[in-house]
């Protein structure tokens, strides 16, 4: 986490945020083939042809990879969303978590809401989301509305089961149970179980509020889209670094060794992002001192996830500090019109 905290202290970091109200984070899984199949690896004709692989599930914020975990390619990513956010130990704490449609299940809106975070997925089809809109009052009251709710939320059920919900929140908060375990237990309960129904009702409430805001405010849709584009760019960088040795795959004979390889890949990606961020930060400081806001606005649009100028092959000496990088010489060759 030291690398993440280092980047967050650079001058360019605040310029990556979309606004002052909240810090956007994004989650997504990247499917990677295993060189040697492990217990967690699974077949997937779509992603691995005849091979086996896993999914590297990553939490990103302002271009920085904060956390990554390996999950089975057959597992639903939404069951691990809260865990990867809550296990983040860096100083960067995103409050709005964006994702694709795989980030949604029947409880994630409620779970993130309990811990002061917002789930803000990117909807593929807004029309399909209308069937998930629910209201708190009688549906008949919305007959003349342009957008009509598809159901009514049982508020009394949520209120009456508050004690059991508080117990689940405490269990998750103390890390006595993972989110994936909670989802499995909820799904194993009978459909008429009050606690299960209460959590799902609360999830409908939080999801409906977000959906309405998403429909009314185009800026939210743009910010969510931009946030997801960032993790796609990160995946391209991770894909490139994993192919340097010849093939897009993870190495390791066990799940632990594969997890170490995955974390090393995240470290390399963050080193590239840190290097680019240092250069951009020095330029920000330079033009800020000169009062050139036009150039600063241009720098704000430059992504630190770029590697065309970096040579990944060759010999690297990490112990020799006698010849540090001369960033001033690099900056001398960079000009803006």
pLDDT tens readout for residues 101-129: 999 999 999 999 999 999 999 998 888 99
Q: Which residues lie closer than 8 Å to 253 by C-beta, 6 or more apart?
A: 36, 38
Domain ranges of the chain: 106-113+124-216
For the chain, the C-alpha Rg in angstroms (whole number) is 23
Query: What pLDDT shows up at residue 1?
Result: 64
Classify the C-alpha dihedral 153-156-162-165 as positive or negative. Answer: negative
Other beta carbons within 10 Å of 221: 16
Average pLDDT over residues 52-76: 94
Strands (E), the chain: 24-34, 42-43, 52-61, 64-72, 96-99, 118-121, 134-135, 151-152, 249-250
Closest by CA to 172, choosing from 233, 256, 86, 294, is 86
Query: What pLDDT shows up at residue 2?
Result: 58
Residues recorded for the chain: 337
Query: What pLDDT shows up at residue 119?
Result: 97
Cα 334–chain centre separation: 32
Q: What is the pLDDT of residues 155-167, one digit of tens each?
A: 999 999 999 999 9
Q: What is the pLDDT of residues 196-250, one digit of tens each?
A: 999 999 999 999 999 999 999 999 999 999 999 999 999 999 999 888 767 778 8
Query: What pLDDT shows up at residue 326?
Result: 79
Q: What is the DSSP letter of 29?
A: E
Tokens for 194? 């009050």
| Alpha carbon distance 188, 223 (integer Å) | 36
């Amino acid at each position: 986490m030291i690398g993440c905290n280092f980047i967050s202290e650079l001058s360019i970091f605040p310029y990556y945020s979309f606004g002052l109200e909240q810090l956007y984070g994004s989650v997504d899984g990247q499917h990677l083939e295993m060189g040697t199949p492990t217990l967690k690896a699974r077949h997937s004709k779509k992603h691995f042809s005849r091979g086996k692989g896993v999914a590297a599930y990553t939490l990103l914020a302002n271009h920085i990879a904060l956390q990554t975990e390996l999950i089975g390619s057959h597992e639903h990513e939404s069951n691990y969303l809260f865990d990867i956010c809550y296990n983040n130990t860096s100083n960067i704490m995103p409050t709005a978590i964006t994702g694709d449609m795989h980030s949604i299940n029947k409880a994630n809106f409620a779970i993130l809401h309990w811990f002061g975070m917002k789930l803000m997925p990117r909807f593929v089809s807004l029309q399909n989301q209308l069937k998930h809109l629910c209201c708190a009052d009688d549906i008949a009251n919305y007959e003349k509305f342009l957008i009509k709710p598809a159901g009514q939320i049982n508020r009394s059920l949520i209120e009456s089961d508050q004690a059991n919900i508080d117990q689940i929140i405490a269990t998750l908060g103390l890390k006595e149970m993972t989110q994936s375990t909670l989802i499995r237990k909820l799904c194993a309960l009978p459909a008429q179980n009050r606690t299960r129904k209460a959590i799902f009702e609360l999830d409908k409430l939080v999801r409906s509020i977000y959906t309405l805001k998403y429909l009314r405010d185009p800026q939210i849709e743009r910010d969510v889209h931009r946030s997801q584009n960032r993790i796609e760019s990160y995946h391209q960088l991770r894909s490139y670094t994993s192919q340097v040795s010849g093939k897009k795959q993870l190495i390791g004979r066990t799940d632990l060794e594969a997890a170490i390889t995955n974390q090393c890949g995240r470290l390399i990606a963050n080193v590239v992002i840190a290097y680019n961020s240092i250069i951009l930060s020095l330029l920000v400081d330079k033009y800020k001192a000169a009062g050139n806001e036009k150039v600063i606005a241009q720098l704000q649009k430059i992504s630190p996830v770029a590697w065309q100028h970096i040579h990944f092959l060759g010999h690297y000496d990490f112990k020799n500090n006698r010849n540090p990088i001369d960033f001033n010489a690099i900056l001398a060759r960079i000009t803006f019109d």
